[in-house]
């Protein structure tokens, strides 16, 4: 099994459910408040860990009350945190999440995530070699992401970029990413096109090599210049969509690290993200490899596969 190094954000999520989204100046009563470790990078690392991958986290936390808790939580998923730096005088990243009508809205304060540097990347990639995987997102400085992907390619690594939250400034990273994994809205923002194949063509022209688009309840699709290959969805009762995309990306990377082909890795990732939305929270909702495997088996036995 190859190593997976996740370069990205580490947050503490402050989550509350609401009957609806309040208007400007309005105060309403919410319920079910929780604090839950999150951040796209940390979520993806936790998913890799739960899938049994050998995973390292590269990122930053603050020296506040949340920093140590965030590191301890990642370790509980089997994530190596040797390359998580605690920044003196900085606050940890915070995400305020409002859940309403089976959807969510998120407000971020980057905190220490904004301080992830090239030096942090250099330290983490010292343990990596040819065939290992680097996965990144866009909740840390884009220049650091581009540097990390480029250096990983120089070392012969497999690189994955989840361009979330979507930002057109990440385009220079495309040439260094073996896989780009946006969702539908991110694909449209990055390409300026609503039609999937037209959007994909724009990204291929911009340097994208392999494109996987997550489609929520419709599954996901592997896109090349000539064809679209859809991977089925798994129908479940949705409770909270937080971290569904991160669970998908982390599971995909973990399966690639086992040598699984992309379409097979996508199927496992689709099942894992489906299980994740049946529970509240970010990392607390991420299933284990055994849970996903059992779910896929029982789903097939019920004859419920689309």
Q: Which sequence positions are flagged as catalytic?
A: 246
Tally of residues, the chain: 306
- Of 197, 282, 180, 192, which Cα lies nearest the Cα of 240? 282
CA dihedral 61, 189, 186, 213 (to 10 degrees): -140
Which of 212, 165, 215, 158 lies closest to 190 in space, CA to CA?
A: 165
Backbone φ and ψ for 159, nearest 5 degrees, come out as: -120, 140
Q: Is the peptide bond before 7 cis (omega within 30 degrees of 0)?
A: no
Give the containing element (helix H, strand E) for 200. Answer: helix 196-205
CB atoms within 10 A of CB 121: 25
Would you call 155 helix, strand, or coil by DSSP?
A: coil
CB 5 within 8 A of CB 58: yes
């Amino acid at each position: 099994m190859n190593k997976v190094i996740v370069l990205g954000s580490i947050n503490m999520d402050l989550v509350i459910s609401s009957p609806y989204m309040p208007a400007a100046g309005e105060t309403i009563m919410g319920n079910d408040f929780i604090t839950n470790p999150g951040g796209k990078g940390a979520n993806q690392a936790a998913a890799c860990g739960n899938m049994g991958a050998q995973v390292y986290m590269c990122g930053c936390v603050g020296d506040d009350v949340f920093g140590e808790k965030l590191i301890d939580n990642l370790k509980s998923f089997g994530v190596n945190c040797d390359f998580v730096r605690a920044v003196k005088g900085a606050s940890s990243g915070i995400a305020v999440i409002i859940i309403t009508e089976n959807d969510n809205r998120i407000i971020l304060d980057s905190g220490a995530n904004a301080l992830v540097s090239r030096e942090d990347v250099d330290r983490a990639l010292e343990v990596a070699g040819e065939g290992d995987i680097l996965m990144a997102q866009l909740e840390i400085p884009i220049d650091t992401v581009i540097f990390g992907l480029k250096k990983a390619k120089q070392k012969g690594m497999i690189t994955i970029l989840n361009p979330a939250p979507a930002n057109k400034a990440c385009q220079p990273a495309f040439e260094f990413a073996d896989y780009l994994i946006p969702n539908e809205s991110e694909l449209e923002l990055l390409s300026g096109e609503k039609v999937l194949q037209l959007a994909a063509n724009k990204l291929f022209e911009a340097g994208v090599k392999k494109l996987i688009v997550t489609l929520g309840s419709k599954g996901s699709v592997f896109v090349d210049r000539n064809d679209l290959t859809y991977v089925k969805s798994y129908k479940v009762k949705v409770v909270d969509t937080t971290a569904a995309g991160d669970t998908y990306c982390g599971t995909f990377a973990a399966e690639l690290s086992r040598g699984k082909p992309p379409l097979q890795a996508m199927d496992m990732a689709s099942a894992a993200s489906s299980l994740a939305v049946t529970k509240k929270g970010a990392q607390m909702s991420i299933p284990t490899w055994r849970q996903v495997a059992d779910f896929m088996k029982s789903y097939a036995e019920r004859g419920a596969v689309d």
